[in-house]
Amino acid sequence: MSWRYPIVLGLIVVMILVNFISQRIQKRRGILLKETKETLRQNLFTRFDFRRLSWKRKFIFWGMSFLIISAAGPQIGIRVKPVERKGVDLVFAIDVSTSMNAEDIVPSRLEKAKYEIGQVIRNLQGDRVALIVFAGSSHLYLPLTSDYEAALLFLDAIDTEMIPTQGTSMGSALNTGISAFSEDTEKYKVLVLVTDGEDHEGEAIEIARKARKAGFSIHAIGVGTATGSLIPLKTKKGIREEYKKDKQGKLVTSVLNESLLREIAHAGGGIFIRFDNRLATHRDLIKAINQMEKRTISTHEFSEYEDRYHIFGLIAFILLTVGFIYPTKRVVSDEWKGRFVE
């Protein structure tokens, strides 16, 4: 339950105070009348019923209370309202392999990617967004939704411990991303691949080419630098223990594979963007999305409170009407005092 004008409810407190003062004054009048003679009081109030007067005041008091509640604009329950949204379906496939922990991008590749993607989501208007996480395998993490607050919460929870199967299978990520789209149209579908470019299977370019023919647009975002960085291995508490090593015991340096990502973007009909230590690197992606032709995605339904003031207004009208017409006259059954005539 909610109120459109909650400040109006303060009038109920004022009315309670007025009623309290009125009762005190009435009691004082009653004390003064006790000093009069019994016969005088009986003559004055023979036709007046104080109990009926009390009920009359109660009706008026509660009628005014419901009138104030009605004026405050009570909103109760929910109402389903259709809303048309124009935009595109946008799926982010985010690399969560251990190489995304590399710190050539501050504070890390994955954290930088999450920040920039979050900025993109905050700038969306009507578009639907989905999240996919991948490493050695890929999974649909958040289906298509227009609830951006939920998308940001899911995005914030992403880390490199989500998928135990290590590696980087961009082909699997692309296939999962393509299957995440609805099948109602072949247009207005954008897949954004966010990775450092290490592909352990080599199928991504061919899949991107096929997706483009099916009406998809694939953008590739490279996270990292050309010089690369060592890959820190951290505990569950986020404390760095050591750096990743290969089978020969040598430290592994992860380098951004920009050439591969550019080929994927070209094959998918999209653009290549680099997330690095510069600020606001997400703007190029936002610009590319805004330049796309928008469509009405669906008639989306959402719930909101519905105004219910008329119910309380009707109750107030009934109570006030009864209060004003309720009689205070005592009902006396007079005895017939005539006489029989012989």
* Mean pLDDT in residue range 302-315: 76
Tell me how many domains the chain contains.
2
In a domain, 338, yes or no: no
Residue 332 has pLDDT above 60, yes or no: no
Does an H or E element contain 265, and which? helix 258-267
In a domain, 233, yes or no: yes
Shared domain check, 139 and 218: yes
- List strands edge to edge, sheet with 138-145: 138-145, 128-134, 89-95, 189-195, 216-223, 269-275
* Mean pLDDT in residue range 239-259: 85
- Give the residue, 342 or 63, on which the prediction is more confident: 63
Residue 192 has pLDDT above 80, yes or no: yes
What percent of the chain clears pLDDT 70, i.e. is strictly above it? 78
Residues 134, 95: Cα–Cα separation, whole Å: 5
In a domain, 335, yes or no: no
* Mean pLDDT in residue range 164-192: 80
Which pLDDT score, from 0 to 100, does residue 79 have?
62
Q: What is the pLDDT of residues 9-68, one digit of tens each?
A: 888 888 888 877 877 776 665 555 555 565 655 555 566 666 777 788 888 888 888 888
In a domain, 336, yes or no: no
Residue 202 has pLDDT above 90, yes or no: no
Q: Using pLDDT thresholds of 50, 70 and 90, give the confidence band for residue 331.
A: low
Residue 156 has pLDDT above 70, yes or no: yes
Q: What is the CATH number of the domain that holds 146?
A: 3.40.50.410
Would you call 54 helix, strand, or coil by DSSP?
Answer: helix
Q: What is the pTM of this model?
A: 0.63
DSSP assignments along 225-248, one per residue: -SS-EE-EEE-TTS-EEEE-B-TT
Shared domain check, 130 and 27: no
Shared domain check, 191 and 140: yes
In a domain, 333, yes or no: no
Q: What is the pLDDT of residues 276-301, one digit of tens each?
A: 888 778 888 888 888 877 666 555 55
Shared domain check, 40 and 115: no
* Mean pLDDT in residue range 193-213: 85
In a domain, 291, yes or no: yes
Shared domain check, 257 and 110: yes
- Give the residue, 125 or 237, on which the prediction is more confident: 125
Shared domain check, 127 and 234: yes
In a domain, 331, yes or no: no
Shared domain check, 21 and 102: no
Which pLDDT score, from 0 to 100, does residue 186 have?
54
The overall average pLDDT reported for the chain is 81
Parent domain of 92: 83-300
What percent of the chain clears pLDDT 90, i.e. is strictly above it? 25
- Give the residue, 173 or 74, on which the prediction is more confident: 173
Residue 251 has pLDDT above 60, yes or no: yes
Shared domain check, 103 and 49: no
Query: What value, to the nearest 5°, has the Cα angle with vertex 125 and ends 215 and 129?
Result: 50
Q: Using pLDDT thresholds of 50, 70 and 90, give the confidence band for residue 302.
A: low
- Give the residue, 160 or 77, on which the prediction is more confident: 160
Shared domain check, 65 and 97: no
Dihedrals phi, psi of 72, to nearest 5 degrees: -75, -10
Residue 238 has pLDDT above 70, yes or no: no
Low-confidence winner among 29-38, 120-129, 145-154 (lowest mean pLDDT): 29-38
Residues 92, 112: Cα–Cα separation, whole Å: 14
Low-confidence winner among 12-21, 124-133, 136-145, 154-163 (lowest mean pLDDT): 12-21
Shared domain check, 193 and 129: yes
Shared domain check, 23 and 135: no
Which pLDDT score, from 0 to 100, does residue 23 have?
73
Residue 333 has pLDDT above 60, yes or no: no
* Mean pLDDT in residue range 213-241: 84
Shared domain check, 13 and 120: no
Residue 272 has pLDDT above 60, yes or no: yes
Residues 94, 108: Cα–Cα separation, whole Å: 14
In a domain, 221, yes or no: yes
Which pLDDT score, from 0 to 100, does residue 28 have?
62
